[in-house]
Chain A
């Protein structure tokens, strides 16, 4: 029988395989440990970000046009629905302003500095998005220079979309919540139930159902679908009160011992053109 592989080829393939697996696992481990990538990688990424920025101008224009055409189709229905909501929001806004002022003066009286709900925002534009199966990341046009740090939460439209996973000098990467890597979506959340809050952390994301999962919940407080979910601020980096989404269903975990809460994220993970990074004011 003719040999397909010589023994030398087999040995080379095995060694190459081990090397590559080591490289993938090693660089993944290293990326998790460090706050900013090594100088050479950062320099390369800054350079690449510059090129990306230029290229994204025409493609973004094309994408915007395509989206506008798509949106045009259901504009009429949407407009009618939104009009009915506007009055409600105006009232909420007035109330919010009053409460905010009251809150500020009460904080002053108590001589409280920044609390968990205080944060500044840095807005940024998406210049690129990884065309990859895993590690779905956005590249945004703000970096170390704008005071961004790894782990900060990123919002777009209705709610939280991810966290900063890598900071270069003039751009940074945002790991989306749809990504299962640990730095993307393990943040502390709280669910506003009818008879008290339920605290916990996001444990994973179900990409097949497009839902965040909060596992290992043992609280007896009643949670029903439609309850609002927001960040709890525990852990420090992420301020509290950022909108995450709504509870879509509550199930038992595999062993039937604790609850698993499925959350429909509020933010649309497709179509992210501008983002807002929330910078906590605690510890400043």
Chain B
């Protein structure tokens, strides 16, 4: 394999995906003084954002996309919670919803944001419900919605919107 092939999307995409998984944790650790100031609880979801770009810019056609989704879910569960299944399902469900919606919508920014919006809602709700299954949920739905879901979605949607066109050109360059 020649060196230039390393810039190909099918190489870059999974590497960035794994990288962002750890960046999420690092951001949460270093910015927790701002993100988790009581009563707020904001989560960085860059990994999900990268999966969204994959769906939105049709990167999934060049690579075993579902395998990556599954692997990143398992890695996330193993490293961050130690409980298998929750985030594997959350990532899977979010990507499935985003894929279905992407079929109906085009590649404009606003359509993209609506796709991402629904994806992140599914992602957070699946994680919330999983907490109930194993009996560790200790906040009410209203509190979760107001202080966690709302700021998380706002922050991450802004990040996705700001990076939308730069990432689109990156995908076009490395395809």
Contacts and interface: CB of A to CB of B under 8 A. Distances in A.
B138 A205 contact: yes
A149 to B, nearest CB: 16
* Interface size band for A: 35 or more
Given A45-B78, A66-B34, A270-B37, A130 B25 contact: yes
Contact of A133 (B31, B39, B83, B144): B144
Nearest to B35: A270
Interface stretch (A50-58, A83-91, A238-246): A50-58
A122 interface: no
B81 A70 contact: no
A196 interface: no
Interface stretch (A3-11, A18-26, A72-80, A104-112): A18-26
Contact of B136 (A23, A138, A180): A180
B75 interface: yes
Contacts of B33: 63, 66-67, 70, 270-271
Contact of A52 (B25, B84, B131, B143): B25
Contacts of B83: 24, 27-28, 31, 135
Interface in B52-79: 75, 77-79
Contacts of B80: 128, 130-132, 135, 137
Of residues B24, B128, B137, B144, which shows the largest number of chain A Cβ atoms within 10 Å of its Cβ? B24
Interface of A: 20-21, 23-25, 27-28, 31, 37, 41, 44-45, 48-49, 51-52, 55-56, 59-64, 66-67, 70, 126-135, 137-139, 165-166, 173, 179-181, 204-208, 210, 269-273
Interface of B: 18-19, 22-39, 41, 43-45, 75, 77-89, 124, 127-128, 130-131, 133-140, 143-144, 148
